[in-house]
């Protein structure tokens, strides 16, 4: 689609190329995550789903920490949205932000401590 637009507006590859490659990379990453979430839910493997939720929460929390944002509530909501691939069509989040919170409280995300050596 982006390539068709760039051709119709006669944009040079130097101008649009880096943007298109970045968009394609992000799309591939999101597709992999979405596929993992869908496959794990269809397998009814609660352990795999729990690990995915923990991994997503860990990544969101780390991004917030890097940005100096200190709110777990927002991290719970974003994790819920990311792990709910059908939320746009179903208008429901599964897992809910509350179930993400309970899951993380039961089994906290553990970070490796850096060695002081």
What pLDDT tens digit does each residue of the chain (117 aa) get? 667 777 777 777 777 778 778 877 777 777 777 776 666 555 445 666 778 888 889 989 988 888 888 889 999 999 998 888 777 788 888 889 999 999 899 887 665 555 454
The DSSP symbol for 41 reads H
pLDDT at position 37 is 64
In a domain, 102, yes or no: yes
* Residue 72 shares a structural domain with residue 34: no
My answer on whether 20 and 53 are in the same domain is: no
User: How far apart are the C-alpha atoms of 43 and 18, rounded to whole Å?
Assistant: 38
pLDDT value at residue 90: 83
Q: Are residues 52 and 65 in the same domain?
A: yes
CA atoms within 13 A on the CB side of 100: 27
Per-residue model confidence (pLDDT) at position 32: 75
Q: Are residues 5 and 39 in the same domain?
A: yes
70 falls within a domain:
yes
Indicate whether 30 and 53 sit together in one domain.
no
User: DSSP alpha helices (H): ranges in 43-116?
Assistant: 46-66, 72-82, 87-90, 97-106
Q: Answer whether residue 83 is part of any domain.
A: yes
Residue 31 lies in a domain: yes
Q: Are the beta carbons of 52 and 40 closer than 8 angstroms? A: yes
Q: Which residues contact 104 (CB under 8 A, 6 or more apart)?
A: 53, 54, 57, 76
Give the tokens for residue 74.
Answer: 């927002």
The Cα 98–Cα 45 span in angstroms is 20
Residue 74: which domain range?
46-110
pLDDT of residue 76: 93
Task: Assess whether 25 and 55 both reside in one domain.
Answer: no
Q: What is the per-residue pLDDT for 83? A: 86
Residue labelled with tokens 């850096």? 114
Q: Do the domain assignments include residue 116?
A: no
């Amino acid at each position: 689609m982006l390539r068709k637009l760039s051709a119709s507006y006669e944009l040079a590859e130097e101008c649009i190329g880096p943007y298109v490659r970045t968009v394609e990379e992000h799309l591939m990453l999101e597709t992999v995550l979405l596929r993992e979430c869908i496959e794990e839910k269809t397998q009814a493997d609660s352990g795999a789903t729990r690990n995915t939720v923990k991994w997503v929460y860990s990544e969101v929390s780390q991004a917030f920490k890097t940005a100096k944002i200190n709110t777990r509530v927002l991290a719970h909501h974003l994790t819920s949205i990311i792990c709910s691939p059908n939320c746009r069509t179903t208008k429901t989040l599964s897992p809910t932000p509350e179930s993400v919170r309970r899951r993380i409280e039961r089994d906290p995300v553990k970070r490796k401590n850096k060695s002081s050596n």
